[in-house]
Amino acid sequence: MKEEAAPIKTETFMVNMGPQHPSTHGVFRMRLSLDGEVVVDVEPIFGYLHRGVEKLAEGRTWVQDVTLTDRLDYLASMSNNLAYVLAVEKLAGIAVPERAEHIRVIMAELSRIASHLMAVGSFLNDMGAATFTPLIYMFQEREKILDLFEMTCGQRMTFNYIRIGGVSCDLPEGFIPALTRFLGEMPRFIDEYDTYLEDNEILLARCVGVGVLPPDKAINASVSGPSLRGSGVRWDLRQADPYSIYDRLKFDIPTGKNGDVYDRYRVRMEEMRQSLRILGQSVRDLPGGDYRTKVPVTFRAPAGEAYAHLESPKGELGFYLVSDGSLSPYRFKIRAPSFINLGVLRDLLIGCKVADCVVTLGSLDIIMGEVDR
């Protein structure tokens, strides 16, 4: 009688993985415990950036702090500016002119499209798309948005444009025609991306059923943004707690069904289409008038506290401010979506294969500037 072969003795081993995502060079890695190629435990390690933004902000004036917010999610700096000034305006009771509100929404939605283009392009690069082709395709359209930003305020990444009381300057001559051309062209490019990607066999194999985030776990972990909506939770602060003029705008909230990597990717693609709808309405209804309520350089917020939040491309971005009536915030606290969304990474990766770790991390669309402060 043939003897049964003795079972192969295996033991788990540890691998330091990263950086893989373009945003994580030197400031994030995953310590994986592996049984063969299967992940049995994960320790996400971050904390090497040491920017100290919150403490720096408490030593600068209310007006100067706008520049610090640019450096959080530096791919969507307009949204950072807006979230901060909303909190200051709430604290100080400052009214914003109607024209400025429309301009702010235009800039925020352009930022959302630019950020999602980068998110999807780098995600596909993480997956191993050859020679950066999808990323370069999407960079072409992102450059058009950056051209609009440069036309407006002279910058392409850190803008310092949205200010307390409005915006720093009015829209320049030629901006609206250029934006209108972009709105006419961009739907065709999104359709083109879908033609290449939506039913791509490799993308489906790598993404469907991978990194599944159940809706109850997403809610309990305070996940927000496309990562939450990909799990089927219809929650978007632009409708759930409207700010600026979003309560007057018509748009849909895309959601997923399975909460996997593929759904998170699809939500971002559909959100770009909805942002184009919002931009069309904002341009159509753009009023004349002032672009800013004058605020003194030596602005002092009255003593008190306030919290304001908005739907950034990554999720809920909030600022909690405490004032003692001086030139600087007494307390400055940021509710950063990338930091909180990373909290589910361990649960998403346990049980998956090593190759799935890269695409799962990429599907969360983190940016380290707002992870470590």
Res. 1: pLDDT tops 60 = no
The 10s digit of each residue's pLDDT in 213-248 is 999 999 999 999 999 999 999 999 999 999 999 999
What percent of the chain shows pLDDT beyond 70? 95
* Distance, CA of 361 to chain centre: 14
Contacts of 125 (CB under 8 A, 6+ apart): 22, 132, 134, 135
| Least confident among 70-79, 122-131, 260-269, 362-371 | 122-131
Global pTM?
A: 0.94
Residue environment code for 204-216, b if the CB has 16+ CB neighbours within 10 A, otherwise e? eebbeebbbbebe
Please state, in angstroms and as integers, the Cα–Cα distance from residue 216 to each residue in 210, 286, 321, following that order: 17, 40, 30
The 10s digit of each residue's pLDDT in 263-309 is 999 999 999 999 999 999 999 999 999 999 999 889 999 999 999 99
Length of the chain: 373
User: In this structure, are residues 255 and 232 in contact, taking their beta carbons and an 8 Å threshold?
Assistant: yes
Cα 94 to Cα 133: distance, rounded to the nearest angstrom = 46
* Residue 89 tokens, joined: 């305006």
Q: What is the mean pLDDT of residues 241-262?
A: 97
Contacts of 205 (CB under 8 A, 6+ apart): none
Domains of the chain: residue spans and CATH = 10-50 (no CATH), 51-213+275-355 (1.10.645.10)
Confidence of residue 19 (pLDDT cuts 50, 70, 90): low
